[in-house]
Amino acid sequence: MHLKTLTVRGFKSFASATTFEFEPGVTAVVGPNGSGKSNVVDALAWVMGEQGAKTLRGGKMEDVIFAGTSGRPPLGRAHVSLTIDNADGQLPIDYAEVTISRTLFRAGGSEYAINGNSCRLLDIQELLSDSGLGREMHVIVGQGQLDRILHATAEDRRGFIEEAAGVLKHRRRKEKTLRKLQAMQGNLDRLEDLNSEVR
Ligand code: ATP
């Protein structure tokens, strides 16, 4: 599995549609300060479901929409799509190529799609979680984050590794199931109380 192409339109400094093509292996994005290198990484995080405006270096989510320049008016929507090569079937979907996309409208509302079919954010998160591209995005290490990881407690560090390894999804499901079991046990106890009262 590898990232094949990333297309951004109206996202941060990318007003016009811009497509990045990635080959397997290491990709380096180079450019002068402020030219938009980190915006490319933000677009990756965003299309994979990032919900934190701060993680995307903004104050509110709307800040990802192209805000305009002296020569170009602001746009009404941001759109990012990411095509992933899934020839090895690492993503649990029957396609050799998977395109996920996300659109945010300035007027409000957003859309998600997998291979052109509308879906929920949860569907994208579930699709990616087994690949290690999880919700909390520990596979994307931003500037300054390295320090945070190096100084993290053992427990936090374990969380980072679990997220990257795709274990966190199962831990969340286990916790949810345990909560349900506890509620069931409570119901059972109440039933037994009632039963002993009527006997
Ligand atoms: P550095 O090397 O300094 O880290 P960089 O190449 O990573 O810089 P970015 O931080 O990706 O640059 O891009 C910053 C640029 O993106 C700034 O010029 C900023 O004005 C522009 N920018 C960010 N959000 C928007 C937006 N919503 N609309 C228009 N431009 C934006």
Most ligand 1 atoms within 8 A of CB, residue of 13, 37, 62, 65 to mutate: 13
In a domain? residue 109: yes
In a domain? residue 196: no
What's the whole-number mean pLDDT along residues 94-111?
96
Residue 160 has pLDDT above 70, yes or no: yes
Most ligand 1 atoms within 8 A of CB, residue of 8, 39, 44, 65 to mutate: 39
What's the whole-number mean pLDDT along residues 134-158?
77
In a domain? residue 96: yes
CA of 40 to the centre of ligand 1 (A): 10
Q: Which of 166, 192, 179 is nearest to 1 (CA)?
A: 166
C-alpha to C-alpha distance for 10 and 76, rounded to whole angstroms: 8
In a domain? residue 188: no
In a domain? residue 187: no
For residue 74, the ligand 1 atom closest to its alpha carbon is 28
Its domain, for residue 112, covers 2-131
**Number of structural domains found in the chain:** 1
Q: What is the pLDDT of residue 161?
A: 82
CATH number at residue 110: 3.40.50.300
- CA 182, 185, 191, 197: dihedral to nearest 10 degrees? -100
Strands 18-21 and 110-114: unpaired
pTM over 0.95? The answer is: no
C-alpha to C-alpha distance for 74 and 76, rounded to whole angstroms: 7
pLDDT tens string 56-79: 888 899 999 999 999 999 999 999
Residue 182 has pLDDT above 90, yes or no: yes
Provide the pLDDT confidence category of residue 157 given band limits of 50, 70 and 90.
Answer: confident
In a domain? residue 111: yes
In a domain? residue 195: no
Other CB atoms within a 10 A radius of the CB of residue 124 amount to 22
**Spatial contact of 30 and 37, defined as CB atoms under 8 Å apart:** yes
pLDDT tens string 27-51: 999 999 999 999 999 999 999 998 8
Provide the pLDDT confidence category of residue 136 given band limits of 50, 70 and 90.
Answer: low
In a domain? residue 151: no
